[in-house]
Amino acid sequence: MATHWLKPGEFKEVVQIGAVKVNGRFEVLETFDMLVCPRLNPVLSAYLEKLTGITNAEVKARAVDFATAYRAFVRFAAALPVLAFGPDDLVFTDNLRLYGMKEEPALPPFLDLRGWFQSNGLDIRGMHSCDVGPAAGVPFEGQTHNGLCDALSLAAGVCALMARGAPAPVIA
């Protein structure tokens, strides 16, 4: 949200989970994209619709509840680490708490790649995951701030930097 979810009643409620599986060279092997029916604010704001390209009509037509989306995402991740551009694991944890869910199945381990990008020459100040690919010289495709498009941009940025000699991110 434009107010960074700081106003009363605002919450970083998951509306979409987008992810990619990559090989060791960070080439995309498989994608995951699922819309989630928000509970606290079931009608998406015009701001969120414009930001993500996700419409209320799409949510109504194909979104699932958070528990279903979360479990599908965990199955997709298959216990592999999730590479993110920021503390996305905390957003998941907050949503698990919101929905009264125990972390069952367990959230995969998350690795925030911002430090890796910084140490490999990208000035990440003010960047979002959608900005990573273009900053590494890869054109962005799709809608910015869309979970799947952002995940593709992140993978493309890692791939581009590795092609220029950056070491693969260390996955603990």
Report the CATH fold assignment for 16-163: Nucleotidyltransferase; domain 5 (3.30.420)
Domain regions of the chain by residue span = 16-163
Judge if pTM exceeds 0.95: no
pLDDT (tens digit per residue) in 59-78: 999 999 999 999 999 999 99
* Percent of all residues in the chain with a pLDDT value above 90, rounded to a whole number: 82
**Predicted confidence (pLDDT) at residue 140 exceeds the cutoff of 60:** yes
pLDDT band at 141 (very low <50, low <70, confident <90, very high): very high
> DSSP letters of the chain?
-TTTT-STT------EEEEEEE-TT--EEEEEEEEB--SSS-S--HHHHHHH---HHHHHHH-B-HHHHHHHHHHHHTTPPEEESS-HHHHHHHHHHHTT----SPPPPEEETHHHHHHTT---TT--HHHHHHHTT----S-TT-HHHHHHHHHHHHHHHHHTTPPPPP--
* Percent of all residues in the chain with a pLDDT value above 70, rounded to a whole number: 94
